Every structure is written in C-alpha cells, then in structure tokens.
Amino acid sequence: MSYTTPQRTLADWIRWTERHLRRAGLHFGHGTETALDEAAWLVGAALGHAPQEIEAHLDDRPTAAQLEKIRALVEQRIATRKPLAYLLKEAWFAGLKFYVDERVIVPRSLTGEFIQERFQPWIDPARVRRVLDLCAGSGCMAIACARAFPAAAVDAADISPDALAVARINIGRHGLEDRVRPIQSDLFAALATEHYDVIVTNPPYVAEAEMAALPPEHRHEPAAALVSGAHGLDAVTRILAEAAVHLEAGGILVAEVGGAAAALQAAFPDTPFLWLATETGDESVFLLTAEQLAAHSGR
C-alpha cells in the first residue's frame, strides 16, 4: 500500500482512505453505509474527533503520529475484514458513543430513530416509567431509552454474560448505574414478574442458511446474536407469544427484524404489524400494542 502521495489535510486523507477501502471490496453496514462515510469515521477517530465534529476539521493537518494511526487502521481493516467499530472499540447509536468489542454485535438498529422521537405518537412519553431492552447486547438501546425517558427505569436483558459485561461498561460510562439494570435472561425467562410500558428489541433474525452467505465482516460478530433458526423467526416468535404478559395496558412492543420482515408477515398474516418507516424508507421495525399482542397470543 503506497503512502507516497502528498496528502496534506484531513479532507485529503479521508479521500485517500476512501479509495483504499473501496478498492479492497470491503462490506459496509456496521455503523456506515459507504466507503466515504467509513473513511471519514476512521480518519476522524484517528485524530480524536467524533463523527459529528469532522466537518469542522477538514482543513486540519494530521501529525506524523496521527498519519501512522490512519495507515495502521486502514491496513487492519483491509487485512482482517473486522468491522471498523471493533478496531476503534467504539460505535455510535442515537447520537451517543458506546464501547464495543467482539462480544457483542455492532450497534446499528434502525430503532434508534424512533427512540429519539420517544415513540411518539404511539405512546405518551410522560406515562413511560419502565422500559425493557430485550436482547440488549451492548446496552445501546437501553441507554438511549434512559436518555429519552429520564423518569424511567430501564432493564437491559440478554442471555449472554459476555454481552452483559459490555453493557455494564456502557452503563457505567454513561453514568446510568442507578437507572439501567443489566439482567441475564433467555428472553423473558428471568422476568416472570416484571411489567413495562415499552419493550424494545433487536433480536437475532438471520436464517441459518443465510449466515454462510454474509460478508466476512459479519462473521466477526457473535453468531448467537445473529442466527435464529431455519427461517430467522425463532426468537421473534417467542417474543410475540410472551410479550403481552409483560406489558402494561396501553404499552407497546417495538421490534426490528431486518430481512426477516416478509417471512414474519407471511407466518402471521392476521397479526396487525405496524411497520414503521425510517427516514430512508426502510420498514423492518414493527410496533404492536399490548392489546394486539394479547390477541395474537390468545391471552
């Protein structure tokens, strides 16, 4: 990899990085969608800038030490095919920074958009006193919910002790130990007596046969957080069957199911999923009320 070209500013090095990432045929989608966005994140992080700060520093001139860091990160990204978030040990979700490593999937849930909107108009934010983040992973959704609903107590439940260890790091870094509680639980198994106004979840939803076809970047993530049976529906089917018992009257379940959305709709054609459209037009996040879930599960 040649470094002899006379790049000068942060903007120049972003363009240099973009070219190398693009030529390497990398997969993006773990916090960025394009080579340019990832290049900006990589170069900005090497200089100590958050993504939202980069534009103000495009004319800065990196030091020799910062250039070496940029070059090393580019080489690692290409050689290992690890998501950049793992190399930086950071990810951004709902405008917040989180610690991540290979014990958790990289935060990228589309639900962040709706958390920032406080799930309006589907629930009155003033009534939200308890929130559950199911399959919490890094704890990013639990922490974002705690920020969005400052009067609420939040549970972050995950089956993986390793994931919960990462969640505890993030809970501590955001100073939310008194409001966000990590719980080891196989979905609702350890939550028998708990009730919530809002349940959010980004459960595993990749079909077993699809896992081998995913880009190499995905195979650095814990498979248990991605794969969910032959059709990708095992986890969400259990959630639909059990969620009503844990929701207060008027409460809501908000779940992201990615590419399994069509299979889920086909499996439960009579369930009135409300598919929430993101700013980009994606519709893989659904919302159901407590009453709709009760009818679905026959309770």
| Domain residue extents for the chain | 10-88, 102-297
pLDDT for position 280 = 81
Which tokens in the block code for residue 138? 């890094």
Amino acid at 227: V
Report the pLDDT averaged over residues 136-153. 98
3-state helix, strand, coil in the chain (%, to 5): 45, 15, 40
Place of tokens 């990289």: 106
DSSP state of 227: B
pLDDT of residue 282: 83
Question: Per-residue pLDDT tens for 88-106?
Answer: 999 999 999 999 999 999 9
Q: What is the dihedral of CA 142, 146, 152, 157, to 10 degrees?
A: 10
Sign of the dihedral defined by the CA atoms of residues 266, 270, 276, 277, in that order: positive
Residue 1 pLDDT? 52
Q: How confident is the model at residue 278 (pLDDT cuts 50, 70, 90)?
A: confident
Of the pLDDT bands very low, low, confident and very high (cuts 50, 70, 90), residue 205 is very high
Given a cut of 70, whether residue 7 has pLDDT beyond it is: no
Q: What angle do CA 40, 43, 48 make, to 5 degrees?
A: 115
Other CB atoms within 10 A of residue 124 CB: 12
Q: What is the mean pLDDT of residues 102-124?
A: 95
**Does residue 191 surpass a pLDDT of 80?**
yes
C-alpha distances (whole Å) from 129 to each of 88, 146, 168, 197, 242 are 35, 10, 21, 7, 20
Q: Cα–Cα distance between 44 and 57 in angstroms, integer?
A: 9
d(CA 184, CA 188): 10
Structure tokens at 275: 């598919």
pLDDT for res 49: 94
12 Rama sector, left if φ>0, alpha if ψ -120 to 50, beta otherwise: alpha
- CA nearest 187: which of 140, 243, 131? 243
pLDDT of residue 228: 93
pLDDT at residue 6 above 90? no
Q: Tell me what pLDDT residue 293 has.
A: 97
The pLDDT score that the predictor gives to residue 161 is 98
Architecture of domain 10-88: Orthogonal Bundle (1.10)
Question: Superfamily for 102-297?
Answer: Vaccinia Virus protein VP39 (3.40.50.150)
CA distance 47 to 42: 9
Scan for tokens 């103000």, then name that residue. 56
- Are 10-88 and 102-297 in the same CATH fold? no
Give 25-78 pLDDT, tens digit per residue.
999 999 999 999 999 999 999 999 999 999 999 999 999 999 999 999 999 999
Q: What average pLDDT does the structure give for the chain?
A: 94
Question: Could you tell me the pTM of the whole model?
Answer: 0.93
Percent of residues, the chain, with pLDDT higher than 90: 90
pLDDT at res. 148: 97
pLDDT at 279: 83
Residue 23 makes CB contacts below 8 A (sequence gap 6+) with none
pLDDT at 122 over 60: yes
